[in-house]
Amino acid sequence: MSEVTVTLPDGSELSVPEGSSVEDVAYEIGPGLGADTVAGVVNGELVDKVDPVADGDRVVIVTDQSDEYLQVLRHSAAHVFAQALQRLFPEAKLTIGPPTDDGFYYDVTEVDLDESDLDEIESEMESILDADYAIERVERSREAALDLYADNEYKRDILNTEAADEDTVSFYVQDDWQDLCQGPHVDSTGEIGAVKLLNISASYWRGDEENDTLTRVYGTAFGSESALEEFLDMREEAKERDHRKLGQEMDLFSIDETTGPGLPLYHPAGKTVLRELSEFAGRLNREAGYEEVETPHLFRTELWKKSGHYDNYVDDMFLLDVNDEEYGLKPMNCPGHATIFDQSNWSYRDFPVRYFENGKVYRKEQRGELSGLSRVWSFTIDDGHLFVRPDQIRAEIEQVIELIFEVVETLGLDVEVALATRPEKSVGSDEIWEQAESQLRDVLDSGGYEYDIEDGDGAFYGPKIDFGFEDALGRVWDGPTVQLDFNMPERFDLSYTGEDNEEHRPVMIHRALYGSYERFFMVLIEHFDGNFPTWLAPEQVRILPISDDQLGYAHRVKNELGDHRIEVDDRDWTIGRKIRAGHDDRVPYMLVVGGNEAEAGTVSVRDRFENEANDVDPEAFRDHLDEEIAERTIEPDFLAE
């Protein structure tokens, strides 16, 4: 019998008989692992344990101890929801029900559901868990599946698109209920320890606003009740930290339907935070040898065709007709930077060439996917593009990573690192992609970074290293990136004169230290719960006179404290109410001045943690404030000394 060879996570190779499944591979490694196998990850794709492996596959075995296990369990919980729904509402028509990072959802139609129905459905789900039905995979012919779904146009659409070339398709059966699905799933409904339905919203078939409107039911699932309770507690805290809620309370930004969806308006307080972030990034860029450039908001689509964006991004672009010529709002800044580079003649001695720009870009996301600042139509990337010689690639990428970690450490964030490889929709040869991926992997390995592989998540023009910000609640958000691109210089015919007086092709590196200002702002609002570090805070100090008699002294103190963001609260309120307002507004420091302070020339200092000190010399406080802001300290620490 012929054999195939697969690669295991530690890099070792294992030969197994041709036709072996993921589970067979696990048993070859060891009987205990075989018995514990739930699913597998083959070449980055989560698959059923009965799926076959092929020669050269990279195989990871998934057990209930694996990171992927929760995804499998939640996928099964989506089926439990659908079964419970159809028990209670037989007329309900199912579409798709995938797992998500927080749980699962299922899109359904032909049933009128609202929040009041969730408890009853959830109760029925729990009875299905208690019954501990075996979940079995069954292969059926595609034609039999089409007959089975004669009255379900959504399942037929799936069969006629994703499964159009398949002779057979898989179903998963539990008790007397079944669903068309690729899996994988846990072995039985009883393995799902706890479920909770969360909310209902509207959605569109295939996420397209031109298609049918569906009802989306969100839920979550865990292996135990305690894990579910922990999740629900964190979810409640997340609601309190929601940047949309805090953005309104703190008057940071708004998104008004009258101006258009996904188009944030930044109020003075929010713009103050963004300006400080911009100045911080600008200083890092300039010190690292970047030169600032600026490009317009739109270009002729000829440029986007040249760069490859038109073929790969046209569905997400805003296109305009101007005097019978087609223009597009820019979805990225890189073609403009490549064009600037192309305007000059370059020698090998001139490299590296580094440009940066806070560039506004536009992407036409589906309206149903827009959410606060996390997903918008208009956003600003703290973009940078480097044009380098091949021998400079490693040093420049290492410098970019150093800059990213300076941002991370300054703001007290943690990051997760991932290498994103070639996507299905991409440009360039296999050789170029393999070279680029290998170079990024070498940088990560030599730097000792722990990182995941995200197969197929690279940019269409090159692989990338992605950094995900982890916030105070343990959630991970897309953030900085560094991308290696051999393709765009080729498409733009960029060149420089080498030491041999011959023309050579530069390499392009794309990078962002924040990702986008919008999403980074969102992360910071929720991470700090609105309690920004003093250097970022829209209002850094608030002076609270006890009565109008101290207003003059309060303004003198403000002048003595220098050029910082300081306000005097001259409202006709009690001092207690003013202090409560200062805490609610998340002001890092409040200076209370009454008759005694005015007479002694001092202030009483309170921070937002309710620490306080009396008889403080304003000059001493000013010196500390200057230092705290200059050093970008994360927490107000005057009263910690």
From residue 167, alpha-carbon distances to 45, 137, 141, 152, 170 in Å are 21, 16, 6, 20, 11
* C-alpha 509: how far from chain center: 21
What does the alpha-carbon distance between residue 558 and residue 565 come to, in Å, rounded to a whole number? Answer: 10
Q: Which residues pair with 544 in a beta bridge?
A: 592
Strands 503-504 and 104-109: unpaired
pLDDT at position 155: 96
Tell me the Ramachandran region of residue 216: left when phi exceeds 0, alpha when psi lies from -120 to 50, beta otherwise: beta
312: part of which helix (H) or strand (E)? helix 309-313
Cα 6 to Cα 49, 55, 430: the distances in Å are 15, 6, 21
Q: For residue 315, give every residue at least 6 positions away whose Cβ sits within 8 Å of its Cβ, in sequence order, or none.
A: 364
295 contacts: CB under 8 Å, gap ≥ 6 = 330, 333, 336, 337, 340, 357, 359
Q: How far is CA 13 from the centre of its chain?
A: 34
CB neighbour list of residue 210: distance below 8 Å, 6 or more residues apart = 204
Kindly report the three-state secondary structure assignment for every residue of 442-493. HHHHHHCCCEEEECCCCECCECEEEEEEECCCCCEEEEEEEEEECHHHHHCC
What is the chain's percent helix, strand, coil content, to nearest 5?
40, 30, 35
Q: How many CB atoms lie within 10 A of CB 19?
A: 12
Q: Which two tokens stand for residue 205?
A: 């078939």
Our CA angle for 500, 502, 507, nearest 5°, is 100
pLDDT at 487: 87
Dump pLDDT digits (tens) for 226-270. Answer: 999 999 999 899 899 999 999 999 999 999 888 888 999 999 999
Known binding residues for Zn(2+): 334, 385, 510
Structural domains of the chain in order of their starting residue, each with its CATH number? 3-62 (3.10.20.30), 69-239 (3.30.980.10), 268-297+332-520 (3.30.930.10), 541-640 (3.40.50.800)
DSSP-derived letter for residue 551 is: H
The DSSP output letter for 547 is S
Nearest to 377 by CA among 249, 539, 211, 259: 259
> What φ, ψ does residue 153 adopt, rounded to 5°?
-65, -20
- What tokens does 287 get? 């010190």
In the block, which residue shows the tokens 């299922």? 106
- What φ, ψ does residue 563 adopt, rounded to 5°? -90, 70
The continuous run of DSSP H or E covering 555 comes out as helix 551-560
CA-derived radius of gyration, the chain: 29
Q: Which residue has the tokens 């559901």?
A: 113
Q: Which 8-state DSSP code applies to residue 134?
A: B
Say which residues have a Cβ less than 8 Å from residue 585's Cβ, sequence separation at least 6. Answer: 250, 539, 542
**Which residues, other chains included, contact 430 with Cβ-Cβ below 8 Å and sequence gap of 6+?**
none
Token pair of 475 as six digits: 């959630």
Residue with tokens 């290492």: 398
576 by Cβ neighbours in 10 Å (0-12 / 13-18 / 19+) ranks as exposed
pTM of the shown model: 0.82
pLDDT of residue 1: 65
Binding-site positions read 334, 385, 510
d(CA 313, CA 319): 11
242-248 long-range CB contacts below 8 Å, 24 or more apart? 242/372, 242/526, 243/372, 243/373, 243/374, 243/521, 243/522, 243/525, 243/526, 244/372, 246/525, 246/526, 246/529, 246/530, 247/372, 247/373, 247/525
10-residue block means of pLDDT along the chain (641 residues)? 88 92 95 95 92 93 94 97 97 96 95 94 97 96 95 96 92 96 95 96 87 95 95 91 94 90 95 97 97 96 90 87 93 95 97 97 83 92 95 94 95 92 84 88 92 86 89 85 91 96 95 95 94 97 96 96 95 95 95 96 93 94 95 85 55
